[in-house]
Amino acid sequence: MQPQQIHILIVEDNVQNAELFARILTDYDVLLAHTTTEAIQIAESIPPDLYLIDFDLPDIHGTHLGLSLKRRMLDGELRTAPLIAMTAQNDIESRDNARRCGFDGFLGKPFTLEMLKTLVHRTLNPHPATTPQA
């Protein structure tokens, strides 16, 4: 799959952060949602290949959104895709909670934009091609 065909849904209530992340991930088709309601509507219409989800959302906590998305993926209602948490709650308890809620990755704020790009790339390409040895 070519990068432009890969849909990344960023669920971030801070509009400036969401737009900055989208500008960094220009190799992908980035979709933005600022609430969980928007996120679910987008996921139902344009199935994401990856979700980047902030924990501190205005309507529900990002972990609850993650649980809901994973449940719907297991039920076949949504395409299966990895979830990455992006949160200022950068402690062991938050990391463990994200894992328990079905998140596949965790990025604690503050993070560098290079860290974001690297984690997205590694998540979307978990098995890099190996060069055959002569």
Q: Could you read off the pLDDT of 69-112 as tens digits, one per residue? A: 999 999 999 999 999 999 888 889 999 999 999 999 999 988 88
Task: List 87's β-bridge partners, or say none.
Answer: 108
Q: Can you give the pLDDT at residue 91?
A: 86
8 Å CB contact between 103 and 73:
no
Cα separation, 120 vs 84, in Å, equals 9
Position 1 pLDDT exceeds 70: no
First CA to last CA distance, the chain = 28
The tokens for 26 are: 């220009």
3-state secondary structure of 91: coil
Q: How confident is the model at residue 129 (pLDDT cuts 50, 70, 90)?
A: low
Q: Can you give the pLDDT at residue 76?
A: 95
Q: What are phi and psi of 54, to 5 degrees?
A: -75, 145
Instruction: Give the mean pLDDT of the chain.
Output: 90
Q: Can you give the pLDDT at residue 134?
A: 46
Going along the chain from its start, the domains and CATH numbers come out as: 3-124 (3.40.50.2300)
**pTM of structure:** 0.89
Q: What are phi and psi of 103, to 5 degrees?
A: -75, 140
The tokens for 103 are: 């998140």
Q: Can you give the pLDDT at residue 18?
A: 94
Dihedral of CA atoms 22, 17, 69, 62 in degrees, nearest 10, equals: 170
Closest CA to 53 of 75, 24, 32, 71: 32
Q: Can you give the pLDDT at residue 131?
A: 47
